[in-house]
């Protein structure tokens, strides 16, 4: 274990732990939109900015160094994090924050004081509902890459990739065609990790969950090949 200081409080964390883990161990709800503990860190969203020994750093990709002094809760850092998340939200339609199903993104926005008025995208990127178990709403994708890493690193399927540039970057099947014709094995890892609701399971009245004859027989089972562990 090593000891670091987070906002003046000494915290013991395992060697190799990230600053994100250390700050959260200190009881601070640090946002982390592109991070999921189950996959490798990306450091792309900048929602987790802290100050470590005087320097601004993305906490998810910065290892905790013994004796480091970390600031996380100060007003200037909160403003930096809010500005980073506002850039992301500005490329989304307002329904990203007003949808009925609460998402990790809406939690983060609430905690940073970001409202739906920041979201400006008119929509129009469309979706992919070709697959019976996984639906994609491109307008809600923030290109955090969590689904891509979950698919590759946990499931070992490599079915997903990111396509496009800048604010138009979205997740897509690596095969280039519709999701139903991709290498997706329907493990649900991408649905589970998506922080915005861009990738979901079809709801009641849609897909195999309720509408088709296949949904009428329910069988308890455990898939033998899946690394997600749900």
How many helical (H) and strand (E) elements, i.e. helices and strands, does the chain have?
Answer: 6, 10
Q: How far is the CB of 85 from ligand FES (least distance, A)?
A: 10
Q: How far is CA 110 from CA 104, 205, 207, in A?
A: 10, 30, 32
Q: How far is the CB of 46 from ligand FES (least distance, A)?
A: 5
Interface pick for ligand FES out of 13, 22, 35, 173 (rule CB under 6 A): 35
Rg (CA), the chain: 19
Q: What is the dihedral of CA 42, 45, 48, 54, to 10 degrees?
A: 90
Beta strand 2-6 with 69-71 is: parallel
Interface pick for ligand FES out of 22, 23, 45, 64 (rule CB under 6 A): 45
Q: Should residue 149 be labelled a site residue for ligand FES when binding is judged by CB under 6 A?
A: no
Q: Should residue 58 be labelled a site residue for ligand FES when binding is judged by CB under 6 A?
A: yes
Instruction: Tell me whether residue 48 or residue 141 sits nearer to ligand FES (CB atom).
Output: 48
Q: Should residue 44 be labelled a site residue for ligand FES when binding is judged by CB under 6 A?
A: yes
Residue with tokens 């898939």: 223
Q: Taking contact as CB under 6 A, which single stretch among the options 39-47, 96-104, 152-160, 204-212 is the one that binds ligand FES?
A: 39-47
Residue 37 has which token pair? 């503990």
Binding stretches for ligand FES (CB under 6 A): 32-35, 43-48, 58, 60
């Amino acid at each position: 274990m090593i000891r670091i200081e987070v906002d003046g409080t000494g915290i013991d964390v395992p060697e190799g732990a990230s600053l994100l883990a250390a700050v959260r161990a200190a009881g601070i709800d640090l946002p982390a939109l592109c991070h999921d503990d189950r996959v490798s860190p990306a450091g792309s969203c900048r929602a987790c900015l802290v100050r470590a020994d005087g320097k601004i750093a993305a906490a998810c990709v910065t290892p905790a160094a013994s004796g480091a002094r970390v600031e996380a809760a100060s007003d200037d850092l909160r403003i930096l994090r809010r500005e980073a998340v506002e850039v992301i939200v500005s490329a989304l339609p307002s329904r990203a924050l007003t949808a009925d199903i609460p998402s990790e993104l809406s939690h983060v926005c609430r905690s940073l004081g970001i409202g739906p008025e920041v979201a400006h995208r008119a929509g129009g990127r469309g979706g992919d509902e070709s697959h019976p178990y996984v639906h994609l709403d491109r307008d809600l994708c923030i290109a955090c890459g969590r689904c891509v890493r979950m698919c590759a690193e946990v499931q070992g399927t490599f079915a997903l990739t990111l396509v496009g540039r800048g604010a138009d970057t979205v997740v897509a099947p690596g095969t280039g065609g519709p999701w139903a014709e991709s290498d997706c094995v329907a493990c649900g890892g991408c649905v589970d990790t998506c922080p915005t609701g861009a990738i979901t399971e079809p709801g009641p009245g849609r897909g195999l969950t309720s509408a088709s004859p296949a949904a009428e027989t329910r069988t308890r089972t455990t898939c033998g090949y899946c690394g997600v562990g749900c």
